[in-house]
Structures are given as C-alpha cells and as structure tokens.
C-alpha cells in the first residue's frame, strides 16, 4: 500500500519559535496532500488541502499566516507553525491521495508538537 | 452537508467476541465509504473501503457492507483480539472532496 512518512515524530519547542513538519509520500506521487490536527480523544480536524505547485486551501477558522503550507514537489509537503504558542500543542497528521484510487487517503504517523 | 455518525464508545469486549461498530452517513450523492483505525500515538491506517452500493470491504477479518438503502456502513469482526484495541473512524468522501470523519469509537478488548 501507499506509504506516507512524517518528520519529526515529536517536537518540543519554546513559545514564539517556528516549527516545520515534513510529510512525504515514499512510494507514490501525491498531487494532493492534506493536513489535519487532532486533539486528545477527538476526531481529526482538516486544516488545509495542499496541491502541488499551488497555494494551499485552508479550512474556515484556520489562520493561513500561522500555519504555512508548502507543497513544492510531488512527494513533499511541509507545515510550518509560526510563532508557536502553547495552544498550538497538538497532534498533526498529514495524508495524501493516490492517483487512481479515487478519494482514498493514506495517512502519515503523525507529529506530536508540544509548545512550552 | 455530508456527515457521519458512529456509535459512541468505548466498546469493551472480551477476546474472541463478535464486534459491531455502527456507522451511518448523510450525503448528497454517492460517496465512497471508509473505515480507518488509529492505534495509540499513531496516525490513521486504512482498514477497508467501499466505493459503491452493496460493495463489501474486508481486511484482517474486518468487513463492512455499503448499504445505500439504510445509509450505513457498519464494521464487523467475528472474533476480536487484544491487538484490535484501538480507535476506529468511519469516514466518507465524494469525488474530489475532503474526507468527513465520524467522532471515532474506542474499542477495548480484554484478554
């Protein structure tokens, strides 16, 4: 099956710093990737849809200047949390769609961000 | 809009018991339906899917049938194991659109 990786798997940073999370499709090309946020014991909240070579589409209520998304290649999308604050602490998960598999999304293992 | 409703958990079963997790959906068209599983501290893994009415998705002993008449996609397994303990998410998507998830159902299997 399609494999999606994320790096780092966990990160701790100080308030006010920026953190970059990478999402890679390892064995396929992903024209579309998605970024989700998950709070403890809750479902996933879609933050944005990332299309290769174009600007990301953000969901309502998600600050695009705070959560910068770049999808510069067919195998890599990055999420940068700028000027992070403790309320940004969360589990961030990316996913990707595979050409020929319709709406199926394959998910990365997630990144645990803790902002002190 | 589209939505997914799952039975609330946690569901607690003994090993080798039969599992059913109910999932119903609301959609304007003919969505694809999915079950994902999330183990503690991990991302989601695709468990099974069905893309049209009466399709049955199956994997690792789990199965679910796309029932258009009842707008349901219930997850079943004949004999659960401790290793099946996880959170299970039902989801739908219509072509080109984002996944819509249910709230998730925690499954706990006791030995």
Query: Is the CB of residue A96 less than 8 Å from the CB of residue A34?
Result: yes
Which CA distances in Å does B80 have to A57, A69, A70, A101, B19?
40, 40, 41, 29, 7
Q: Is B16 exposed, middle or buried (0-12, 13-18, 19+ CB in 10 A)?
A: exposed
HSE-CB at A47 with a 13 A cutoff on CA atoms is 27
Is the per-residue pLDDT at A113 higher than 80?
yes
The verdict on a CB contact (< 8 Å) between A107 and B89 is no
Look at residue A1 and tell me whether its pLDDT is greater than 80.
no
Q: Supply the pLDDT for residue B97.
A: 76
Check CB contact under 8 Å for B101 and A106.
no
Q: What is the pLDDT of residue A103?
A: 84
The DSSP call for residue A59 is: P
Token readout for B7 is 């039975």
Instruction: Please give the pLDDT value at position B95.
Output: 72
Mean pLDDT (whole number) for A14-32: 94
Q: For chain A, how are helix, strand and coil distributed in percent, rounded to 5? A: 5, 55, 45
Residue A82: alpha-carbon gap to chain centroid: 14
Mean pLDDT of A84-113: 92
Question: Distance (Å, rounded) from C-alpha B93 to C-alpha A49?
Answer: 14
Residues of A in contact with B95 (CB under 8 A): 102-103
Q: Mean pLDDT throughout A14-30?
A: 95
A110: contact with B, CB 8 A cutoff: yes
Q: Find, among B31, B21, B41, the residue nearest to B100 by Cα.
A: B31
Residues of A in contact with B107 (CB under 8 A): none
The two structure tokens encoding residue B29: 């068209």
| CB-CB under 8 Å, A112 with B41 | yes
A103 touches chain B (CB under 8 A): yes
- So what's the pLDDT on residue A33? 94
Please give the pLDDT value at position B27: 92
- CA distance readout (Å), B69 to A103, B24, B66: 22, 11, 9
Q: Select the residue of A43, A46, A104 nearest B89 (Cβ to Cβ).
A: A43
């Amino acid at each position: 099956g399609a494999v999606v990786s994320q790096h780092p798997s966990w990160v701790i940073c100080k308030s006010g710093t920026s953190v970059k999370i990478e999402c890679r499709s390892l064995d396929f090309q992903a024209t579309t990737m998605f970024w989700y946020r998950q709070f403890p014991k809750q479902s996933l909240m879609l933050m944005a849809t990332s299309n290769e070579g174009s600007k990301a589409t953000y969901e309502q209520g998600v600050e695009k200047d705070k959560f910068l998304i770049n999808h510069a290649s067919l195998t890599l999308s990055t999420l940068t949390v700028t000027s992070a604050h403790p309320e940004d602490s969360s589990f961030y998960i990316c996913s990707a769609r595979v050409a020929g598999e319709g709406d199926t999304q394959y998910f990365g293992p997630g990144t645990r961000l803790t902002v002190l | 809009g589209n939505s997914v409703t799952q039975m609330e958990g946690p569901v607690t079963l003994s090993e080798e018991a039969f599992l059913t997790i109910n999932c119903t959906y609301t959609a304007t068209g003919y969505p694809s339906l999915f079950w994902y599983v999330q183990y503690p501290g991990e991302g989601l893994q695709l468990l099974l899917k069905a893309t049209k009415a009466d399709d049955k998705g199956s994997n690792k002993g789990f199965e679910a049938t796309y029932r258009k008449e009842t707008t349901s996609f219930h997850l079943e397994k004949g004999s659960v194991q401790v290793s099946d303990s996880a959170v299970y998410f039902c989801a739908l998507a219509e072509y080109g659109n984002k996944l819509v998830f249910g709230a998730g159902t925690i499954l706990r299997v006791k030995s």
